[in-house]
Amino acid sequence: MALRVPTKNVSLVDLVVDLEKEVTAEEVNQAF
């Protein structure tokens, strides 16, 4: 994966999660 970002102060997170149970987007958002 290659990204070109025009700013110096950048935070990038590539998050991959394997879940053992089905969750909704709302439950994930509440965790953060």
From first to last of its 32 residues, the chain has per-residue pLDDT tens of 776 767 666 676 777 777 778 888 888 888 87
Torsion of CA 5, 6, 9, 13, to 10 degrees: -20
**Is the pTM value of this prediction over 0.85?**
no
DSSP 8-state class, residue 21: S
**Residue 14 CA to its chain's centroid (Å):** 6
Single out the residue of 2, 27, 22 nearest to residue 12, CA to CA: 2
Q: Hey, what are 4's tokens?
A: 């070109």
Tell me what pLDDT residue 22 has: 82
Give me the residue label for tokens 């909704």. 24
Tell me what pLDDT residue 10 has: 66
